[in-house]
Amino acid sequence: MKSHSRTSSRALFLAIAYSVLAVWTLLAIFPFFWTFLISIKEVVDAFALPPVWVFKPTLVAYQTLWIEEGFSKYLINSAIVTLGTVTISITVGCFAGYGLARYNRAAGFWILFAAFVFRALPRLTFLLPFYYLARLTGLHDTQLLLILVLVAINQPFTIWMLRSFFQEIPDSLEESAMVDGCSRFQAFWYVIVPIMGPGIVTASIFSMLLAYNEFLIPLILTATNAVTMPVAISQFGAEDLRYWSISAAGAISIAIPMVIIVLYLQKFLIKGLTAGAVKG
Amino acid sequence: MKPREFWAFVSPSVVVMTVLMVFPLFTTIYLSFFNFNFGVAPKFIGFLNYTRILEDSRFWSAMQFTLFYMAVSIPIQILLGFGLALILNEITALKRFFISLYLVPYIVTPVVGTLAISWLFKDRGFITWLLSNIGVNIQWYADATAARGLLIGYGIWGAVPFIMLMLYAGLQAMPSDPIEAAIMDGATWWQRVRFVMIPYLRPIFIFIGMVNIMDAYRLFDSVAVMTQGGPGNATATIMYYTYSVAFQEQLLGRASASIVLAVIVIITLLYPFLRQTYFDIVGKK
How do residues A26-59 score in pLDDT, each as one tens digit?
A: 999 999 999 999 999 888 888 887 888 888 888 9
A59 touches chain B (CB under 8 A): no
Measured between CB atoms, which of B157, B214, B247 is closest to A220? B247
CA distance A46 to B170: 43
B269, B213 Cβ separation under 8 angstroms: yes
Instruction: List beta partners, residue A134.
Output: none
User: If 0-12 CB within 10 Å is exposed, 13-18 middle and 19+ buried, where does residue B264 land?
Assistant: exposed
A217, A146 Cβ separation under 8 angstroms: yes
The mean per-residue pLDDT over the stretch A228-252 comes to: 84
* Contact between A128 and B256 using a beta-carbon 8 Å cutoff: yes
Q: Which of B69, B108, B78 is nearest to B216 (CA)?
A: B69
Q: Which of B237, B24, B153 is nearest to A148 (CA)?
A: B24
pLDDT at A248 over 80: yes
pLDDT at A1 over 60: no
A243 touches chain B (CB under 8 A): no
Alpha helices (H) along B18-56: 23-31, 48-55
CA distance A98 to A197: 14
Q: How high is the pLDDT of residue B285? A: 47
CA distance B12 to A207: 17
B204 touches chain A (CB under 8 A): yes
Contacts of B184 (CB under 8 A, 6+ apart): none
Helix (H) or strand (E) segment spanning residue A187? none
Question: Residue B229: phi, psi to the nearest 5?
Answer: 85, -10
pLDDT at A235 over 70: yes
DSSP B186: T
> Is the bond into A50 cis (omega within 30 degrees of 0)?
yes
B171 touches chain A (CB under 8 A): no
Q: How high is the pLDDT of residue B53? A: 95
Residue A218 confidence class, pLDDT cut points 50, 70, 90: very high
Percentages helix, strand, coil for chain B (3-state, rounded to 5) are 80, 0, 20
Question: Residue B169: phi, psi to the nearest 5?
Answer: -65, -35
* Contact between A273 and B100 using a beta-carbon 8 Å cutoff: no
CA distance B72 to B148: 11
pTM exceeds cut of 0.90: yes
Instruction: List beta partners, residue B43.
Output: B35
* Contact between B129 and A51 using a beta-carbon 8 Å cutoff: yes
Q: How high is the pLDDT of residue A279? A: 43
* Contact between A31 and B239 using a beta-carbon 8 Å cutoff: no
A3 touches chain B (CB under 8 A): no
Q: How far apart are the first and last CA of chain A?
A: 47
Task: Give chain A positions within 8 Å (CB) of B122.
Answer: 47
Contacts of B133 (CB under 8 A, 6+ apart): none
Q: How high is the pLDDT of residue A238? A: 59
Q: How high is the pLDDT of residue A68? A: 85
Task: Give chain A positions within 8 Å (CB) of B110.
Answer: 213, 215, 230
A31 touches chain B (CB under 8 A): yes
Rounded to a whole number of angstroms, the distance from the CA of B194 to the nearest CA of chain A is 18
The mean per-residue pLDDT over the stretch A128-140 comes to: 90
CA distance B53 to B259: 10
B272 touches chain A (CB under 8 A): no
B112 touches chain A (CB under 8 A): yes
A150: closest chain B residue by CA? B20
Contacts of A123 (CB under 8 A, 6+ apart): A153, A216, A217, B218
What single-letter amino acid sits at B167?
Answer: L
User: If 0-12 CB within 10 Å is exposed, 13-18 middle and 19+ buried, where does residue B232 land?
Assistant: exposed
Q: How high is the pLDDT of residue A278? A: 46
The mean per-residue pLDDT over the stretch A106-112 comes to: 90
| Radius of gyration, CA atoms only, chain B | 23
The mean per-residue pLDDT over the stretch A237-254 comes to: 82
Q: How high is the pLDDT of residue B135? A: 87
Question: Residue B113: phi, psi to the nearest 5?
Answer: -60, -45
* Contact between B224 and A219 using a beta-carbon 8 Å cutoff: yes
Contacts of A73 (CB under 8 A, 6+ apart): A227
Residues 206-225 of A with CB under 8 A from B: 209, 212-213, 215-216, 219-220
Judging by DSSP bridges, how do beta strands B43-44 and B34-35 pair with one another?
antiparallel
Q: How high is the pLDDT of residue A3? A: 53
Measured between CB atoms, which of B90, B170, B274 is closest to A274? B170
Average confidence score pLDDT of chain A: 89
Task: Give chain B positions within 8 Å (CB) of A112.
Answer: 281
Would you write out chain B's pLDDT as a tens digit for each of its 285 residues? 889 999 999 999 999 999 999 999 999 999 999 998 877 778 899 899 999 999 999 999 999 999 999 999 999 999 999 999 999 998 888 888 999 999 999 999 999 999 999 989 988 889 999 999 998 888 999 999 999 999 999 999 999 998 999 899 888 888 888 888 888 888 888 888 889 999 999 988 998 999 999 999 999 999 999 999 989 899 999 999 999 999 999 899 999 999 999 999 999 999 998 888 888 777 654
B196 touches chain A (CB under 8 A): no
Instruction: Measure CA A70 to chain center.
Output: 24
Give me the sign of the Cα torsion angle B152, B157, B160, B161.
negative
Q: How high is the pLDDT of residue A69? A: 84
CA distance A178 to B27: 44
How many other CB atoms are there within 10 angstroms of residue B2's CB atom?
A: 9
B167: closest chain A residue by CA? A274
Measured between CB atoms, which of A31, A111, A215 is closest to B116? A31
Instruction: Measure CA A183 to chain center.
Output: 35
Rounded to a whole number of angstroms, the distance from the CA of B152 to the nearest CA of chain A is 15
Q: How high is the pLDDT of residue A53? A: 83
